[in-house]
Amino acid sequence: MRLALEKILKFMAKTILRRYRPKIVGITGSVGKTSTKEAVFNVLNSFFSVWKSHKNFNNEIGVPLSILGIKNNISWYNFPFIFFKWLVMLLWWPYPSVLILEMAVDRPNDMDYLLKFISIDVGILTNISLSHIKFFKNQKQLIKEKYKLINSVIKNQGCIIINIDDKLIRENFNKIKEKNLNINEKLKEEKNIFTYGFSSEAKVRATDIHLDTDTENYKINGISFKLNYQNKIIPLRLKNIIATHQIYFVLAGISAGLSFKLNLMDIIKNIEKFSPPKRRMKLKKGIKNIYILDDSYNASPISMLAGLETLQNLPSRRRVAILGDMLELGKISLQEHRKVIQKAMDLNIDLIVLVGKKMRKSFENLPSSIVVLEWKKRVLFFDDVEKLEDKIGEIIQSQDLVLIKGSHAIKLDKIVNLLAVDK
């Protein structure tokens, strides 16, 4: 049934793309696709008619639905409406000139499937890590799958936007660039390549990063940095972000604007309004005068570590990390969970709350020299979110700063809803 639905939606999406021929921005990567999509949308939406993927519609069904402008999950009950809309769209529709699509890779050949009916004009690769590696033989196979998007853009003579700070992206891009010089002459001059990051290699670079905090009153007011591009240095202040790693989304958005040849100052004016999507490192006020770092939408090893770093960098009377299981890690699951727990300990987080059987098992498998009596008193275990719900009111103290993060299936958003004043 699902396979038949995929084929029908693929055909419908393909005909619409042929009918209207929009410019397409394709975004892939292990983490940060949705936040990058929102940053790109922030920049482009003031200058073009733009559609973006709804929520996390990024797979074989979600991407065609995004192309068709559908914002609801599909079922055979609403399929007649989708089919009728498609027929109307074939005749005439106020279709956008730009599409921004998330393109997820969970299994081998996922990207091949999408690229068979989508021609990408601007390809963005956010990072490559171990998330979603469960169905891949090894990291090399995962890298190869992610890079299919970049290879496709090169052949299409399109624009490439990559996070040059990511070691795996940097190493593999240099190899691919050399290999494809005869296919795409523009690669030699790098006119169609925008690298972004914090390092000196980045074409679109952030330096002098400063977190705007009121340590005395435990308040967080945003983040500022200097944008370096083509010998220009421009200060930016972003009121709605609080984590250093969120700057990467902003840099990707700026790079996308530059790839569309927009004026840099116009780009900056729009990107300063950027706010992360729901449940992705959003700062919220909570009961007992606490602050919540709501990053409960999903989790991977790299995003867990970034979340803990953010927790440590922000001012607080007491720091609490509520960490749920990370899924889809396959054979490396326990070792990656151990790394996360060890990081929380290294940062001397005041209280660690572990939710899920993988987290518990990983803590119990830490070397005995690490699991000293002190840490046993500072680590709490809950097998599922329902058990934590019963105790969370007793755990949280006045003026705590609480990071809440775990895989989507762990449902830690329920804890956010219990604690947050503004849902």
pLDDT number for residue 143: 87
The two structure tokens encoding residue 158 = 């399109």
pLDDT number for residue 216: 64
Query: Phi/psi at 124 (nearest 5 deg)?
Result: -115, 125
Above 60 in pLDDT, residue 184? no
pLDDT number for residue 423: 63
- Higher pLDDT, residue 140 or 185: 140
Q: How far apart are CA 16 and CA 67, in angstroms?
A: 8
Above 80 in pLDDT, residue 178? no
Three-class SS state of 409: helix
The two structure tokens encoding residue 12 = 């419908």
Query: Phi/psi at 278 (nearest 5 deg)?
Result: -55, 135
Dump pLDDT digits (tens) for 345-386. Answer: 999 999 999 999 999 999 988 877 666 667 778 999 999 999
**In which band, very low, low, confident or very high, does the pLDDT at 82 lie, cut at 50, 70 and 90?**
very high
**In which band, very low, low, confident or very high, does the pLDDT at 189 lie, cut at 50, 70 and 90?**
low
**Residue position matching structure tokens 């989304």:** 249
pLDDT number for residue 186: 60
pLDDT number for residue 263: 97
Above 60 in pLDDT, residue 182? no
The two structure tokens encoding residue 409 = 């299936």
Report the pLDDT averaged over residues 126-145. Answer: 83
Report the pLDDT averaged over residues 97-117. Answer: 95
User: What beta strand segments (E) does 77-203 contain?
Assistant: 98-102, 122-125, 159-163, 193-197
pLDDT number for residue 220: 78
Dump pLDDT digits (tens) for 234-292. Answer: 999 999 999 999 999 999 999 999 999 999 999 999 999 999 999 999 999 999 999 99
| Contact between 123 and 151 (Cβ < 8 Å) | no
**In which band, very low, low, confident or very high, does the pLDDT at 126 lie, cut at 50, 70 and 90?**
very high
- Higher pLDDT, residue 404 or 189: 404
Dump pLDDT digits (tens) for 283-326. Answer: 999 999 999 999 999 999 999 999 999 999 998 999 999 999 99
Dump pLDDT digits (tens) for 396-410. Answer: 999 999 999 999 999
DSSP class per residue in 365-406 = TS-TTTS-HHHHHHEEEESSHHHHHHHHHHH--TTEEEEEE-
Tell me the whole-structure pTM to 2 decimals.
Answer: 0.93
The two structure tokens encoding residue 154 = 């090169």
Report the pLDDT averaged over residues 58-84. Answer: 92
**In which band, very low, low, confident or very high, does the pLDDT at 2 lie, cut at 50, 70 and 90?**
confident
Pairing of strands 291-295, 219-229: unpaired
Query: Phi/psi at 181 (nearest 5 deg)?
Result: -60, -35
**In which band, very low, low, confident or very high, does the pLDDT at 109 lie, cut at 50, 70 and 90?**
very high
| Contact between 142 and 136 (Cβ < 8 Å) | yes
Q: Which amino acid is at 354?
A: L
Helix 357-364 and helix 333-346, axial crossing angle in degrees, nearest 10: 70
As a whole number, the mean pLDDT across the chain is 91
Q: How far apart are CA 80 and CA 116, in angstroms?
A: 25
The two structure tokens encoding residue 380 = 């709490």
Instruction: Enumerate the H helices of 147-239 as residue ranges.
Output: 148-155, 167-179, 186-189
**What percent of the chain has a predicted confidence (pLDDT) above 70?**
93
pLDDT number for residue 318: 96
Above 60 in pLDDT, residue 181? no
Q: In 10 A of CB 382, how many CB atoms?
A: 22
Above 80 in pLDDT, residue 180? no
Look at residues 233, 312, 321, 307 and name the one whose alpha carbon lies nearest to residue 276. Answer: 307
Question: Which residues, 6 or more positions from 251, have their beta carbon under 8 angstroms from its beta carbon?
Answer: 196, 197, 202, 204, 205, 206
Q: How far apart are CA 282 and CA 266, in angstroms?
A: 26
User: Which domains does the chain show, CATH number per domain?
Assistant: 2-271 (3.40.1190.10), 282-419 (3.90.190.20)
pLDDT number for residue 364: 87
Q: Which amino acid is at 338?
A: R
Q: How far apart are CA 132 and CA 53, in angstroms?
A: 20
Q: In 10 A of CB 349, how many CB atoms?
A: 21
The CB-side HSE value for 305 (13 A sphere, CA atoms) comes to 14
DSSP class per residue in 155-167 = HTT-EEEEETTSH
Above 60 in pLDDT, residue 183? no
**What percent of the chain has a predicted confidence (pLDDT) above 90?**
76
Pairing of strands 351-355, 379-382: parallel
Report the pLDDT averaged over residues 137-162. Answer: 90
Q: Which amino acid is at 3?
A: L
Q: In 10 A of CB 201, how many CB atoms?
A: 11
Q: How far apart are CA 45 and CA 47, in angstroms?
A: 5
